[in-house]
Structure 1
C-alpha cells in the first residue's frame, strides 16, 4: 500500500484500507472512538491486483487507486472515491493506462488538490513518471508524460498548503521532484537532487504553508528530510527498512513532526522534533508488541485530535492501535488489537 491508509473521515470516524486476495477492504469505527466494524469490500466486485494507493483531500474524502487485470498480460488503473468511512465507496472506475495498453508499470500514488481533484501518478514503461487527473466537473483529463529517467520504486505525492500537488520519485539522476505552478497546472519536473536514496522509502508531508517535506532513507541507513530549495538533512538513523510514517502535531505546545516506523526489532519506534528544525535532533523510542515482518505503520488524528498510531500486517490482517494520552510528552495508551 502506498499513502496514508489510516484516515479520519469527515464524520470523525477512523478507517483503514487493506488488501485481501484480489480486493480492497475497509474497516471503520462504528462511532468515533468506539468499536470497529468488520471489514467490508470496496468498489464493487471487480478483481484487483494486490496494490493500493490512497490519498485524502482537505474535504475528508479518500481517493483510492489500484490496478485491475484486463487480460492475462494486461491491466488498467482504476479509481474509487470514499466519502465517509461507513458509507459504501463508489464503484471502481477505469482511468486507463500511462502507455494506453500493457501490463502494470508500477505502484501508483494519489494526491488530492484544493479543488478535490485526485491526481494519480505512476511509472510508465519508459521509466519516467506519468499522471492522470480528475476534471473539476467530472471525468478525467488525458494522461500526461511528466518525464524523468530511471524511476525506481513507488512515487509519492502530496498537496501543499496552497493545494498544489507535488510528486517525488527515485530516479537514475537521484531524487526527482515535480511541482504544480498553479491549480490544475501540469506538474513540472524540477532539477534532480544528486543524493543516494533507497527506493521504497519515500514519504511526503506538508510541513508548513510553503513546504512539503520528503522523508527517505539514504544508502548509509540514515533517515533524511529534504525540502525543495534546500539540501537533504540526516535526521537520525532509520529504525527499520520500510518507509516512515509522519504527521504534524502539537507536543507540549510546540509544533512538532512525529515519525513512526517498524523497527529492526519488530516493534514500532517513535521520534519527534520541532517541525522543519531537523537540526534540533531526534531519537527513537520503541513501543508495543513485536509485529509481523510485513507490518506497516501509519499515523492519523482521531475525532478528539489525538494522534493515533496503527500497525497493520497485510498477510494476517492483524490491526493494532494506540492513541496519545492526555499527558505531557508522547505518552501512549496500551496497544489494542481491533
Structure 2
C-alpha cells in the first residue's frame, strides 16, 4: 500500500484500509473512540491486483486507486471515493492506462488538492511519471507526462498547507521533486538532490506553510529528512528496514513530528522531534508486541487530536491500535486487537 491507510474521516471516526486477496476492505469506528465494524469490501465486486494507493483531502474524503486486470496481459487503473468511514464507498471507476494500454507500470500515489481534486501519479515504465488529475466539476483531465529520468517505484505524493500538490521520487543518484506552481496546474520538476536513497522508503509530510519534508532511509541505514531548497540531514539510525510513517502533533505545547517504524526486534518504534528541527535530536522508543515481518505502521490523530498508531499485517489480517494517554509525554495506552 502507498499512502496513509489509517485515516480520520470528516465525522471524526477512524478508518483502516487493507488489501485482502483481490479486494480492498475497510473497517471503521462505529463512533469516535468506540468499537469498530467488521471489514467491508470497498468499491463493489471489481477484482483488483494487490496494490492500493490512498490519499485524503482537507474535506476528509478518502481517494483510493488500484490496478485491475482487463484483457489478458493488460491492466487499467481504477478509482473510488470514500466520503465517510461508515458509508459505502463509490464503485470503482476506470481511469484507463497511462500509456493507453499495457500491463501495470508501477505503484500509484495519490494526493488531493485544496479543492478536493485527486491527483494520481504513476511511474510510466519508461523512466518517467504520468499524472491524471480530477476536474473540479467532475471527470478527469487527460493524462500528462511529467517527464523524469530513471524514476523508481515507490512515489511519495503530498499536499502542502498551501493546498498545492507535490511529488517525490527516488532516482538512481538521489531524489527528484515536482511541485505545482499554482492551483490546478500540473506539478513541475523543480529540483533533484544527490543522496543515496533506498527505493520504497519515501514518506512526505506537510511541515509548514509552503514547505514539505521528505523522510527516507539511505543506503547506509540512516533515516534522513530533506526539504527542497536545503540539503538532506540525518535524523537518526533507522529502527528497521520497513517504511516510515509520520504525523505532526502537539506535545506539551510544541509542534512536533512523530515518526514510527517496525523495528528490527519486530516491535513498533517511535521517535519525535520539533517539526523542521531535526538537529534537536530524536531517539527510538519501542512499544507493543512483536509483529510479523510484513507488518506496517500508520499514524494519525483522532477526534480529540490524540495520536493514534495502528499496525496491520497483510499475511494475518491482524489490526492493532494504540492511542496516546491523556497525560504529559508520549505514553500510549495498551495495544488492542481491532
TM-score for the superposition, normalised by structure 2 = 0.99
Corresponding residue for residue 186 of structure 1:
186
Task: Work out whether residues 106 and 125 of structure 2, in 8 Å CA contact, stay in contact via their aligned partners in 1.
Answer: no
Query: Is the 8 Å Cα contact of residues 178 and 191 (structure 2) preserved in structure 1?
Result: no
Alpha-carbon distance between aligned partners in 1 of 2:99 and 2:93, rounded to the nearest angstrom: 18
Residue 174 of structure 1: CA displacement? Answer: 1.8
Task: Tell me if structure 2 keeps the 8 A contact 1:149–1:173.
Answer: no
Superposed structure 1 runs of 4+ greater than 3 Å apart: none
Whole-angstrom distance in 2 between the partners of 1:174 and 1:319 = 34
- On the 8 A contact 1:135/1:141 being kept in 2, the answer is yes
What is the aligned partner in structure 1 of residue 82 from structure 2?
Answer: 82
Q: Structure 2 CA distance, aligned partners of 1:315 and 1:75?
A: 24
Instruction: For residues 256-295 of structure 1, give each alpha carbon's deviation from its aligned partner in whole angstroms, at most 9, with x where no partner exists.
Output: 0000000010000000000000000100000000001100
* 8 A Cα contact 2:249 2:258, kept in partner: yes
- Tell whether the 8 Å contact from 1:173 to 1:192 is kept in structure 2 after alignment: no
The match for 2:315 is 315
In the alignment, structure 1 residue 306 sits paired with structure 2 residue 306: yes
Confirm whether residue 215 of structure 1 aligns to residue 206 of structure 2: no
Structure 2 CA distance for aligned equivalents of residues 65 and 76 of structure 1: 10
Per-residue CA shift, 1:78-117, capped at 9, x if unaligned? Answer: 0000000000000000111111100001110000000000
Helix, strand or coil: the match of 2:279? helix
Which TM-score applies when normalising by structure 1? 0.99
CA distance in 2, matches of 1:3, 1:83: 17
Listed as ranges, the gaps of 5+ residues in structure 2 are none
Equivalences for 1:107-146 in 2 at 5 Å? 107-146=107-146
* Aligned-residue RMSD, C-alpha: 0.7
Instruction: Tell whether the 8 Å contact from 2:173 to 2:196 is kept in structure 1 after alignment.
Output: no
* 1:279 counterpart SS class: helix
> Match of 2:251?
251
Matches within 5 A, 1:134-283: 134-283=134-283
2 CA distance for matches of 1:275 and 1:306?
17
- Residues 118 and 134 in structure 1, CA contact (< 8 A), matched pair in contact too: yes
Secondary structure at the residue paired with 1:193? strand
Structure 2 counterpart of 1:17: 17
2-side partners of 1:152 and 1:265: how far apart? 29
Cα separation, 1, equivalents of 2:125 and 2:274: 40
DSSP 3-state at the match of 1:18: strand
User: How far off is 1:20 after superposition?
Assistant: 0.5
Q: Which runs of 5+ in 1 are unaligned?
A: none
8 Å Cα contact 2:26/2:40 also seen in 1? yes
Q: 1:21-73: CA deviations, max 9, x gaps?
A: 10000000111111110000000100000000000000000000000100220
